[in-house]
Amino acid sequence: MADAPKQTPQANLLSPIKTERQLDKPGFTFLPRTWEELWNFAKEVAATDFPPKDMRGKPGAILAAWQTGAEIGLPAMASLQSIALVNGRPTVHSKGYWAIIVSHPMCEWATEAPQDVALKQGYGECSIKRRGNPHVFTRRFTMDEARTARLLEKDNWKFYPGDMLVNRARHRCGDAAIPEACQGVLPSDIAIDLEPEPEPRRALSRPQPLEETDEGTPGETDQTSQPEREESEGTGQSSGAPEKSGRDSAIEAIGEFTKDNFPDPTWLNPRIKDLSGDDKLAITSAYNLKKKELGL
């Protein structure tokens, strides 16, 4: 007589089957594969005490920090400690800025005067050799320049003048030699000396035409609505076309480059020198994207 089939214990039938989710790569690195995973990850981090105070409870700010860091070569979690808004501008910690410059593939070597020497000689000095360029980039930032710009009145210059001279020289030289490294993201010690960006102006509502009274005031109504009619007729723009900004002009010029006339990155220097951090980032990003499109 055949043996009766063994009965599966009832507990095993009711127990849920547990599956383990495999990591995309060994270690603790989390690589989201969907937008939902990325957003949920940002929300989980935002709910902890790990990010800086101004990012806690703000998953959108954390995503912005991750994206900014990724564009200049920083890992996600390191970006939370190095990327911050200073005076309304995205910045990277000054030590992080220098690390990005010296580790960039285009940096062959870099030298600088230490803080005590800079303070003694009255200026910070930094030199960077760009790979493939026979000329060495050397830039200085002097105490006289700091005095003229009224930087010596600020606490960071009062307590750490030598460090500030070095950081200024680093930034000036790094942006000249390897502008694509940080893509316009400023070091925090530079951004803190800038004026805060103004609050955006609210758009003014267009005046409404006067309503007719019982006696009728067609003349007043026509006069009030005349500007609106003039704008609605034609192109809708003012009589004088606004001049293009430095940002728009540079991006338009980049769009017209070809493989035959694509410029060296030093072409960026005079065009981003006096622009805001956001404009610098937009121009250098357009430059890098065009370079990639051309296969250079």
Q: For residue 255, what are the CA distances in angstroms to 41, 49, 182, 296? A: 36, 44, 21, 14
- pLDDT for 78 equals 81
- pLDDT for 12 equals 52
Structure confidence by residue, pLDDT tens digits, 262-271: 888 788 888 8
Nearest C-alpha neighbor of 182 from the set 69, 72, 291, 67: 72
- pLDDT for 225 equals 46
pLDDT higher than threshold 60 for residue 209 = no
Q: How confident is the model at residue 146 (pLDDT cuts 50, 70, 90)?
A: very high
pLDDT higher than threshold 80 for residue 11 = no
SS (H, E, C) the chain: CCCCCCCCCHHHHHCCCCCCCCCCCCCCCCCCCCHHHHHHHHHHHHCCCCCCHHHCCCHHHHHHHHHHHHHCCCCHHHHHHHEEEECCEEEECHHHHHHHHHHCCCEEEEEECCHHHHHHHCEEEEEEEECCCCCEEEEEEEHHHHHHCCHHHCHHHHHCHHHHHHHHHHHHHHHHHCCCCCCCCEEHHHHCCCCCCCCCCCCCCCCCCCCCCCCCCHHHHHHHHHHHHHHHCCCCCCCCCCCCCHHHHHHHHHHCCCCCCCCCHHHHHHHHCCCCHHHHHHHHHHHHHHHHHCCC
Structure confidence by residue, pLDDT tens digits, 29-74: 667 788 888 888 889 999 998 888 888 899 998 888 888 888 887 8
Q: How confident is the model at residue 227 (pLDDT cuts 50, 70, 90)?
A: very low
Q: How confident is the model at residue 244 (pLDDT cuts 50, 70, 90)?
A: low
For residues 177 and 130, the answer to whether their CB atoms sit within 8 Å is yes
Q: What's the average model confidence in pLDDT over 162-179?
A: 92
Structure confidence by residue, pLDDT tens digits, 102-120: 989 999 999 999 999 999 9
pLDDT higher than threshold 70 for residue 237 = no
Percent of the chain with pLDDT over 70: 74
